[in-house]
Amino acid sequence: MRIRHLTLATVASALLAVTAGCGGDSTAAGSGDEVTTVSVTIEGVGEVTTDATLARKVPGDIRDRGTITVATNAPYEPFIDFKTEGRTDEFKGLDHDLFLAASARLGIKATFTQQPFDGLVPGLQAAKYDAIAGGITDKKERQQVATFVDYSASGTGFLVKTGNPLGVQTVADLCGRKVAVQKASNQAKNLAEYSRSDCAGRAVEVKEYPENPQAVQALIAGNVDVVAATKVNLVDVAPALAGKADLVEDPSAPNGWLASPNGFGFLKAQKELAQAYQAAVQSLIDDGTYTKILARWKQEPIAVKQATIDQAID
């Protein structure tokens, strides 16, 4: 996906203040403590309810509170969007469904709140909310403030003319070809670097367009051989291009070339909470709920087999 840029505060004293104010020293509740059962019904997926063993991984103060506040910035489909036009207090989307399901598995009720995008990380750092979500790329820079539970991964996908007449299967097949990308995108930068290092005199001719739709039109018009764009976006547009263009499926890179993880962010001082959510997401992967949620939003290609923590590739 496109990388959603967040501003990071760098003042060490702020980090210390947040650690003190956000319950960083909380420990998971003891095994004898009572667990509250929470159930949610995800449209098209079914009911998700609490696992008492997993719930006891949640820090005691948050488990006693029973709620968690999640900041997001809609719309950023398919990850987060407003449920009803004109209302900014009700949400839908892949991240919304998955976070609600993971929270229920932990015996917690999650409430989403709309915030300016460039304020998500600073607000988390200031303990205004407990977590951030909404198609956010796990990046090493962001890990200065947040611990990320990585729940999907998306890299670059390739769109070709119907029937794939040039036989494009992997990035190696782009050497010597005209490839359309969005101007100033990661694809433009990464393909230029790949061409210099791996194409041995058969350079990738990168052609930049203002937006991805113009790149797709260039492919259909025969002006380029391939479109390179974030795979999650190509998965969305490919069905509407039936008979005109096909999405290449590379078995060696099912999430796309140079796939980066997307994650739910938790304050670094609340690593126990992040670990509880990692376990909850993994349980949803294991029982098939995760797959159903991704299928609901037509995002099976960005699935992962393991929920991980802080696996940024940059």
Q: Are residues 299 and 248 both part of a single domain?
A: no
The mean pLDDT value for 7-33 works out to 38
Q: What is the structure's pLDDT at 230? A: 84
> Between β-strands 81-82 and 67-72, what pairing exists: parallel, antiparallel or unpaired?
unpaired
pLDDT tens for residues 187-245? 999 999 999 999 999 999 999 999 889 999 999 999 999 999 988 878 888 999 999 99
pTM equals: 0.74
Q: What is the structure's pLDDT at 25? A: 34
Q: What is the structure's pLDDT at 14? A: 33
Computed over every residue of the chain, the mean pLDDT equals 89
Answer whether residue 283 is part of any domain: yes
pLDDT-derived band at 12, boundaries 50, 70, 90: very low
Q: Are residues 215 and 84 both part of a single domain?
A: no
Q: Are residues 34 and 166 both part of a single domain?
A: no
Q: Are residues 144 and 24 both part of a single domain?
A: yes
Kindly tell me if the per-residue pLDDT of 28 is higher than 80: no
CA–CA gap between residue 89 and residue 34 (Å, rounded): 31
The mean pLDDT value for 285-299 works out to 96
Q: Are residues 278 and 200 both part of a single domain?
A: no
pLDDT-derived band at 6, boundaries 50, 70, 90: low
Mind giving me the DSSP string for 198-226? Answer: HSTT---EEEEESSHHHHHHHHHTTS-SE
Q: Are residues 210 and 276 both part of a single domain?
A: no
Q: What is the token pair recorded at 174?
A: 């782009």
Answer whether residue 7 is part of any domain: no
CB 206 within 8 A of CB 181: yes
Q: What is the token pair recorded at 260?
A: 């980066």
Mind giving me the DSSP string for 109-158? Answer: EEEEEE--GGGHHHHHHTTSSSEE-SS-B--TTGGGTEEEEEEEEEEEEE
Q: Are residues 172 and 270 both part of a single domain?
A: no
More confident call, 1 vs 312 = 312
Q: Are residues 268 and 279 both part of a single domain?
A: yes
Q: What is the structure's pLDDT at 16? A: 30
More confident call, 116 vs 109 = 109
User: How many domains is the chain built from?
Assistant: 2
Kindly tell me if the per-residue pLDDT of 58 is higher than 60: yes
Looking at this protein, which amino acid is placed at residue 45? Answer: V
Q: Are residues 127 and 210 both part of a single domain?
A: no
CB 279 within 8 A of CB 309: no
Q: Which residues contact 304 (CB under 8 A, 6 or more apart)?
A: 150, 151, 152, 153, 255, 261, 285
Kindly tell me if the per-residue pLDDT of 20 is higher than 60: no
pLDDT tens for residues 167-177? 999 999 999 99
Q: Are residues 231 and 293 both part of a single domain?
A: no
Kindly tell me if the per-residue pLDDT of 104 is higher than 90: yes
pLDDT tens for residues 251-276? 888 889 999 899 999 999 999 999 99
CA–CA gap between residue 163 and residue 82 (Å, rounded): 37
Answer whether residue 5 is part of any domain: no
pLDDT-derived band at 67, boundaries 50, 70, 90: very high
User: Where does a domain end: 241, 257, 273?
Assistant: 257
On the question of a cis peptide bond just before residue 122, with omega within 30 degrees of 0, the verdict is: no
Answer whether residue 314 is part of any domain: no
pLDDT-derived band at 29, boundaries 50, 70, 90: very low
Q: What is the structure's pLDDT at 279? A: 98
Q: Are residues 23 and 87 both part of a single domain?
A: yes
* Stretch among 14-28, 63-77, 210-224 having the lowest mean pLDDT: 14-28
CA–CA gap between residue 14 and residue 20 (Å, rounded): 10
Q: What is the structure's pLDDT at 68? A: 97
Kindly tell me if the per-residue pLDDT of 120 is higher than 50: yes
Alpha-carbon torsion angle 174, 254, 237, 112, nearest 10: -130
Which structural domain range is residue 216 located in?
155-257
CA–CA gap between residue 15 and residue 194 (Å, rounded): 38
Q: Are residues 185 and 283 both part of a single domain?
A: no
Q: What is the CATH number of the domain that holds 166?
A: 3.40.190.10
